[in-house]
Structure 1
Amino acid sequence: MMDHTLLELLEQEQGNYLSGETISKAMNVSRTAVWKQIRKLEERGYVIEASRKLGYRLVSKPDNLSPEKLSELLQTNRFGRSLRLLDVVDSTQNEAQRWAEDGAPEGAIVIAEQQLGGRGRMGRSWVSPYTKGIWMSLIMRPSTPIHFAPQLTLLTAVALCRSLRKSTGLEIGIKWPNDLLISGKKISGILLESAAEDERIKYVIAGTGISVNLDISDYPEELLERATSLSIQAGRRFSREQVIADFLLEWEQLYDLYLKDGFGAIQTLWEALAVTLHQEVTVQTPQGQLEGRATGLHESGALELLLSSGELRLVFSGEMGQPSSAQ
């Protein structure tokens, strides 16, 4: 491919400038074609400095995930032991679903360097630039009734929140049901999609998008007030392999605890990390908008909402507005 040849030319110069004329002659293409290839490399995360007098020089390369490094860091028994690391995909959820239908083992994960059609809850799109975050889907095969699937969403949120708090030192909290916030801004979203047979779960695809090393320039301006990344908040970059390994270990341990002892311990952990409890909240449900005080989680995984009328309503699905005093 042409851009590989261009990349080789830039790498050979070891950070020194290479004129556009020299590049076009070496590749036997026009100066316009060179510029187009420069743009393609920049879209893939390469930083290339351009000078009208001097030409082009390679400043930095994208920080691609290393499957070898991730394998060395893994401490799990199942989660992450079967891995498909892809470059650019429409959605890791779609890739994992196809793999699950083909018999992928429990704990198998699909990770992409970039998603072109990444999706969140309520059909929203998800900003997922090349090599900047963790766009991952994991396959679970619990032998439980389908109505327990919402508990797995809450479990995933607890595992991710606990692992990120440990590895970053940031005060991260959970907004019901599964958004992770820092200072009221979203840094991660979780989407679980299930397939069932005879009222029991056949498999669950748990998709997580984690904004790890995104810069302010990676976000559309309209998202900056409500979205952020770990690196923006911490003022430093993080090893994505280490973040993944820490998350998978916490996730597997809590998942095994859940299979052994049920939802009780997960419920307690979720409530301890929630930023939306004991506050007046607004929840948009399929049946309409509800307002009340979020008092806790029901053992089913539903949100307990105390209405002004005194009625305690269980909310199984909905979208909560921003809490009044999120962490």
Structure 2
Amino acid sequence: MKNEILKLLKKNPDSFVSGQSISDYLKVSRTAIWKYMNGLREDGYKIESVSNKGYKLLSSPDLLTFEEIEPYLNTNFIGRNIIHFNSIDSTNIKAKKLADSIVKDGTIVIAEEQTSGKGRLGRNWISPQYKGIWMSIILKPDLNPIEAVKLTQIAAAAVVTGTEEFGIKTYIKWPNDIVINHKKVCGILTEMNAELTRINYVIVGIGINVNIDETEFPGDIKHIATSLKIESKKSINRQKLAGNILNNFEKLYVQFVKQNDLSSSINICRENSALIGKNIIIINRETSVEAKAIDIDEDGRLLVEYKDGRRESLISGEISIRGKESYI
């Protein structure tokens, strides 16, 4: 109901909407409308009310609720159900708890802050309040479990395309990091629950440093982390960015799951690769070896060439990659 009221107010940004007209349209009492308006105010919406005139929306809060992201969505199912938290330990942890009760693809768990954000290999992810996009997508694709790793490539492609729509060029550090100027701006964590030949669910976690200031990064990661605001020198509309990414994700995800076609995602990953043509260090448990990144194949594997001329396709999740001279 709150979303419907917000839509009415946003359709009339320069005029008052009478309580009676809202009541008639939504078929609820004036008292109910008054209660919903108070609820919206508690959520951070500034609403002016004048007797005999009605209600007028003055400003909206910078929140990643469905009501605020929905105007930017053109999806059919991804993001059409958003479970929002002001603060949470980890959106991936919560999404896994909810996944069994979620029937369809596309529910989003999103938070303004994570107190125990999860990164790859068990690392922590700094997630300050109102400064980023910390979200997890609950998916239930009809895929062989071995194919689930490719969803990371889809998410990476969706993020770089979404930031490009803001005029910000980002690059993919295969398989799950998005970087700018050799620094990490986004991480993707894909987790799966499956049986031998059947996926129960996949959680695709996406954490983006959006409006974090340079002084807000701890000293031990300042040299490897950045934000879209730092790099673009402007604040970014988090709601629009979230909508852009979800729109791109659905398009690429449907193409893969319904048409068995990963080519668009792989092409985006190739064109925006931070690794191809670069000398890298491949870290596998306690060992590391130098190689050159040659290409990303049609299955999303990284093709590398070692010093002895031998080539190998690396599978996401098996190894870690580092740049020879820096993080990338």
Query: Match for residue 193 of structure 1?
Result: 191
Q: Which runs of 4+ in 1 moved over 4 A?
A: 323-327
Query: Match for residue 174 of structure 1?
Result: 172
Distance 2:256 2:325 in 1: 31
1:149 positional shift: 1.6
Query: Match for residue 318 of structure 1?
Result: 319
Asked if the contact 1:62/1:131 (under 8 Å) is kept, the reply is no
Asked if the contact 2:210/2:228 (under 8 Å) is kept, the reply is yes
Distance 1:228 1:295 in 2: 27
Asked if the contact 2:145/2:196 (under 8 Å) is kept, the reply is no
Mind listing any 5+ residue stretches in structure 2 that lack a counterpart? Answer: 1-59
Query: Match for residue 48 of structure 1?
Result: none
Query: Match for residue 271 of structure 1?
Result: 270
Indicate which of 226, 236, 239 corresponds to 1:238: 236
Asked if the contact 1:276/1:326 (under 8 Å) is kept, the reply is no
Segment of structure 1 superposing worse, 116-125 or 305-314: 305-314
1:219 positional shift: 0.6
Query: Match for residue 106 of structure 1?
Result: 105
Change over 3 Å in CA distance of 1:104–1:96 after alignment to 2: farther
1:139 aligns with 2:138: yes
Query: Match for residue 227 of structure 1?
Result: 225
Query: Match for residue 50 of structure 1?
Result: none
Q: Deviation digits for residues 240-285 of structure 1, max 9, x if unmatched?
A: 1101100000110111111214223322221111010111110112
1:323 positional shift: 5.6
Q: Deviation digits for residues 172-212 of structure 1, max 9, x if unmatched?
A: 11111121111111110000000112322221100000001
1:250 aligns with 2:251: no
Letter in 2 for 1:292: A
Distance 1:184 1:198 in 2: 39
Letter in 2 for 1:157: A
Mind listing any 5+ residue stretches in structure 1 that lack a counterpart? Answer: 1-60
Distance 1:326 1:278 in 2: 16
Distance 2:264 2:112 in 1: 34
Distance 1:62 1:221 in 2: 30
Distance 2:219 2:136 in 1: 28
Asked if the contact 1:279/1:324 (under 8 Å) is kept, the reply is no
Letter in 1 for 2:150: Q
Give the 3-state SS of the residue equivalent to 2:135 in structure 1: strand
Distance 2:153 2:325 in 1: 21
Distance 2:78 2:292 in 1: 37
Using the size of structure 1 for normalisation, the TM-score is: 0.77
Letter in 2 for 1:207: G
Distance 2:278 2:185 in 1: 21
Give aligned-pair identity as a percent: 33
Query: Match for residue 261 of structure 2?
Result: 262
1:287 positional shift: 7.3
Letter in 2 for 1:275: A
Change over 3 Å in CA distance of 1:110–1:213 after alignment to 2: same
Distance 1:301 1:285 in 2: 19
Change over 3 Å in CA distance of 1:98–1:202 after alignment to 2: same
Query: Match for residue 97 of structure 1?
Result: 96
Letter in 2 for 1:228: T
Query: Match for residue 81 of structure 1?
Result: 80
Give the 3-state SS of the residue equivalent to 2:244 in structure 1: helix
Give the 3-state SS of the residue equivalent to 2:323 in structure 1: coil
Query: Match for residue 301 of structure 1?
Result: 300
Distance 2:283 2:198 in 1: 28
Asked if the contact 2:279/2:323 (under 8 Å) is kept, the reply is no
Letter in 1 for 2:89: D
Segment of structure 1 superposing worse, 252-261 or 317-326: 317-326
Distance 1:147 1:163 in 2: 27
Matches within 5 A, 1:282-297: 282-286=281-285, 288-297=287-296
Asked if the contact 1:170/1:182 (under 8 Å) is kept, the reply is no
Distance 1:161 1:220 in 2: 25
Give the 3-state SS of the residue equivalent to 2:116 in structure 1: coil
Distance 2:296 2:190 in 1: 19
1:124 aligns with 2:123: yes
1:65 positional shift: 3.0
Asked if the contact 1:183/1:326 (under 8 Å) is kept, the reply is no
Segment of structure 1 superposing worse, 267-276 or 316-325: 316-325
Change over 3 Å in CA distance of 1:160–1:323 after alignment to 2: farther
Q: Deviation digits for residues 24-71 of structure 1, max 9, x if unmatched?
A: xxxxxxxxxxxxxxxxxxxxxxxxxxxxxxxxxxxxx98433431212
Distance 1:170 1:72 in 2: 22
Query: Match for residue 211 of structure 1?
Result: 209
Using the size of structure 2 for normalisation, the TM-score is: 0.77
